[in-house]
Structure 1
């Protein structure tokens, strides 16, 4: 049993200290002396004859407690706070009453005693010195009755129950409620204001009734609050994990959040609990269809005759046929067919199938449509390596990773491409295609990094050669082409720079940097019309770019002058 980390209440401290005081009372009372070692000359008889009163802060006086009470004349009374925040202690028996009370704040040390009470007082004083506060108070019978808010004890409430005391304190707290919505309970702690009784009862009933939690989860689901629905279904499952409906409903909420593989696991649990649960079978079939597993989808659709229809089975069979056509066309490098069949499979319901997304992206890469390939993976649901490998197998997930690595390379994310290809090699180390993609990614990333360093050092010819080495591995990489074009422009080879920029724009038409560089090189070559076309495209893509606006105006002026000059020449002839 683990130990509670909550601090003990005032009542608990009172009970602990009282028991210790009873055991050590005789030792504490017979060994009174100062901490500095000088014993007090007073005897026990003298102490009984001349008790010293406790100095009490008026702010701590309570109604019904008499200052002359014997509880306040105990020799070991608690140190009490005074106006300056220090702690005053009652003078020990036998001391000269004309001497002022001494403070325990370090400037004027107070007299202390040995025994259990002295040890506790010293611990409190040490804590106050370290923390810089005097709010720590030792619980004794005297100051329990004096302060009252150290526990749920009430003086003068004979015959009244603890509930009545709490009710009175709560009623008074409403009148002095703090602006932050919290109130003093009168029990020594600051607690949040209680909810109305009816609402509290309903909350308690919801916590203890899993069916109520399920209904609340259903309501959150209908309102589109899927994360809240998952949390409520989880609570219901914790209370009763034998209800398949809880697992199935949670799977629906997880699917809405895009966590399809987790949803599959929960649906499988629902089916395990109740193999005849039609709704769970139907939901599991739909999940498998979305994930590109048509055979499993067909199996579960057939297991739910009440929920599934013939259209569901037909759709799964169509997806199965399209996947087979994609794989056959890929072997023949018929990328048009691969693209068409993969897009049709997605339309039939495999909208979250990683393999379908990979086939579609690979076909777009081979067709030199790199921006579209990047968009396919950008909108796809990403799954973790472990869960994907568990569901699709190591070979299937390795194929998805090598396609993603090639898309990252085409988009200029070389470091990500290398890391993704490395993971694919670990999953399928004997696959030559995977190893080849990994080598290409590393070579292209190294060439780009070396070229960048040389370009920064103004070694443009060497940088141009470095980018060329990367292009030997990836001939249509738009980033490497654009970077080499920058080197050509620095070397005054504007014609070659235009060629490289055109090659980059052929695979990535939205690559603004390559278009801007080509427009600038065409200006240097005085190809005003070609430059104007690029600037007109750029002003649509970058409407707030002042440099583009200025360049466009200059090109328009140059082109106008050129046309006017040509017209005047024809007129003179």
Structure 2
């Protein structure tokens, strides 16, 4: 079977020049000195054992050129009549040996080795030989000592490239002439990069993206521009990654650090943003934009003094207004802390909310002041919503402690622990309070909250175990002990109401459920239990009000729908009976 070879176009002028240049260099090197040749190598080696000289299977890899011996035999042509001349040996001792093979299928002829030689010429011939062995073609011609040429493409090994359409005279097996049209580049080369092995891209778009990515990887300014575009589109994670790449290439540009800080701030990673802004200011202390951005970050985090300092360093048009806001935040936080010491919770809440409105919207201290005031004002649901909102701080313990100090972060943690207890998350409350105690063990307030959290959690766990064992009296007492440590806890009140209901003490159950709903109006479990207890007490109107609220909160609950219908029917019967009684009188 005759192997198909790629069509070979006639060489162009550039190609012929390259060929003659290569021949000239080789002849010149042969006529000069024998420093790079083996002086005593015979022109032709005897073939004492032809079988011994048969070539073994060759496995090509990246290091094959380095391991190949210096002697370069001239291969016999295969699958067609092809002749090749070995390079002349030094001092004219070598002789040209030409072998020709017509056809295929016969025994492989012996190969007469040529004179051995070394240096760049030998290395290039080895590369040509490797390519011929792999491709099964002799169309690769060495043009110069520094380049290789395939199909007139100087310096590249390329099977095709994009450009203007050129129709190939040979159609691949199973294809059509139209399907085998290829595009040639306008400059006549297969690739703009010389000395590379280039594969034809699948699509022009993919090639463009690759070139764009490669060029941008070495241009930090382009990466910054790409990051700016991602930022404008709201892709903040991508923007951060691009700014990071730009910083890795050139960390001395303050704009890269400042822009990255803006993207981090948009992701809520404010403490990281502060660190990057500080780096920008360190690199260029006169960088106005970085000062203004850093001042704004400090303001959002409630660090009013630092915010004022950096805002004053900026020449931004809004800097004076921002300084006034920062001063207002500082004043309101001070007033809120003073009111807290006096346990004036209305004032604490009012001033803390005003500070958040003035710009300290992500300050843990300001948010903790608001949550604590809401707890003391028996507005547990609002406190929980505040700390569970998207704008609530989500800083790690280490970074928050380092940034705000031990006391500041411990205060935030004990408030969160109390909010968790109010919402019935006792295990979370204990863990958070324990973390606060580890940070500030000498703080008396922290120690008190930790003990309260542990006692309430233990009481609730013990009460649950007793309730499951149907020991309702003991369970009721256990929940009562927890309420002694954590008064007004909605979960403990509701659980104790369940014990009262099991014991037939529906009036007490209604009282505990009402107490739970005072602090948590959205506590559906307590409202459902109170409605059921009112049914037992035949308080149809009170029960109807609770079921009407529940049907709004749980519109798909079939039990609530059924109970509401029954209560409405009972209330209707009661009213009809009352009307009939009045008519008899």
TM-score w.r.t. length of structure 1: 0.72
* Residues in 2 aligned to 1:166 and 1:196: alpha-carbon distance in whole angstroms: 20
Given candidates 351, 370, 381, the residue that maps to 2:361 is 351
Select the residue among 216, 231, 255 that pairs with 1:221. Answer: 231
2:250 aligned residue: 240
Deviation at 1:507, TM superposition (A): 0.2
Q: Is the 8 A contact 1:301 1:308 kept in 2?
A: no
1:238 and 1:519 map into 2 onto residues whose CA distance is 65
The aligned residue for residue 161 of structure 1 is: 149
Say if 2:158 and 2:198, in contact at 8 Å, map to a contact too: no
Q: Does 1:436 align with 2:424?
A: no
Alpha-carbon shift at residue 486 of structure 1 (Å): 0.9
Residues 174-189 of structure 1 aligned to structure 2 (within 5 Å): none
1:257-296 aligned within 5 A: 257-296=267-306
Could you tell me which residue of structure 1 aligns to residue 145 of structure 2? Answer: none
2:383 is aligned to: 373
Matched, 1:12 2:62: yes
What secondary structure does 1:275 align onto? coil
**Cα 1:145/1:235, change in 2 over 3 Å:** closer
Does the C-alpha gap of structure 1 residues 191 and 334 become closer, same or farther in structure 2, counting only changes over 3 Å? same
Report the equivalent of 2:404: 392
Q: Equivalent residue of 1:161, what SS?
A: strand
Q: 1:170 to 1:201 in 2, by over 3 A?
A: closer
- The structure with the largest helix share of the pair is 1
Matched residue of 2:61: which SS?
helix
State the distance in 2 between where 1:377 and 1:235 align. Answer: 35
Encode CA deviations 1:121-151: one digit per residue, 9 max, x unaligned.
xxxxxxxxxxxxxxxxxxxx9x9889837xx
Tell whether 2:345 aligns with 1:335: yes
CA–CA separation in structure 2 for the residues paired with 1:371 and 1:344: 20
On the 8 A contact 2:161/2:200 being kept in 1, the answer is no
Distance 2:70 2:434 in 1: 67
User: Which deviations, in whole Å up to 9, do the C-alpha atoms of 1:362-385 show, x marking residues without a partner?
Assistant: 000000000000011111121111
Which residue, out of 423, 437, 454, partners 2:435?
A: 423
Instruction: Identify if the C-alpha distance between structure 1 residues 481 and 161 changes in structure 2 by more than 3 Å, giving closer, same or farther.
Output: same
Separation of aligned partners in 2, 1:506 and 1:20: 95
Decide whether the 8 Å contact of 2:231 with 2:239 is kept in 1: yes
* Aligned residue in 1 for 2:561: 549
Structure 2 match to 1:61:
none
CA offsets 1:453-498 (integer angstroms, 9 cap, x no match): 2222222222212111111111111011111111111111111111
RMSD: 3.2
Q: How does 1:81-230 map to 2 (within 5 A)?
A: 148=134, 155-158=138-141, 161=149, 166-168=157-159, 195=205, 198-230=208-240
Give distance in 1, aligned partners of 2:132 and 2:407.
77
Structure 1: unaligned runs, 5 residues or longer: 1-8, 23-63, 74-140, 177-186
Q: Where does structure 2 lack aligned partners over 5 or more consecutive residues? A: 1-58, 73-101, 112-126, 143-147, 163-171, 181-196
> Partners of 2:103 and 2:557 in 1: how far apart?
80
Aligned mates of 2:448, 2:255 — CA distance in 1: 48
CA 1:433/1:199 → structure 2, altered by over 3 Å: closer, same or farther?
A: closer
**Rounded Cα–Cα distance in structure 1 between residues aligned with 2:441 and 2:71:** 74
CA distance in 2, matches of 1:451, 1:190: 74
Structure 2 CA distance, aligned partners of 1:441 and 1:421? 7
Distance apart, 1:408 and its partner CA: 0.4
For 2:3, the equivalent position in structure 1 comes to none
Does residue 1:305 correspond to 2:315, yes or no? Answer: yes
Q: CA deviation at 1:157?
A: 3.6
Aligned-partner Cα distance in 2 for 1:154–1:491? 98
Deviation at 1:204, TM superposition (A): 2.5
Paired position in structure 1 for 2:329 = 319
Counterpart-to-counterpart distance in 1, 2:107 and 2:140: 18
238-247 or 216-225, larger mean C-alpha shift: 216-225
Q: Distance in 1 between matches of 2:307 and 2:471?
A: 59
Aligned to 1:456: 468
Partner secondary structure for residue 441 of structure 2 = coil
Question: Contact (CA 8 Å) 1:301, 1:312: kept in 2 or not?
Answer: yes
Q: Secondary structure at the match of 1:70?
A: coil
- Deviation of residue 192 (structure 1)? 7.0
**CA contact under 8 A between 2:479 and 2:496: conserved in structure 1?**
yes
1:23-81 superposed Cα distances (whole Å, 9 cap, x missing partner): xxxxxxxxxxxxxxxxxxxxxxxxxxxxxxxxxxxxxxxxx9945463999xxxxxxxx
Cα distance in structure 1, aligned partners of 2:466 and 2:514: 24
Pair 1:363-2:373 in alignment = yes
Residue 226 of structure 2 aligns to a residue whose secondary structure is: helix
2:547 pairs with 1:559? no
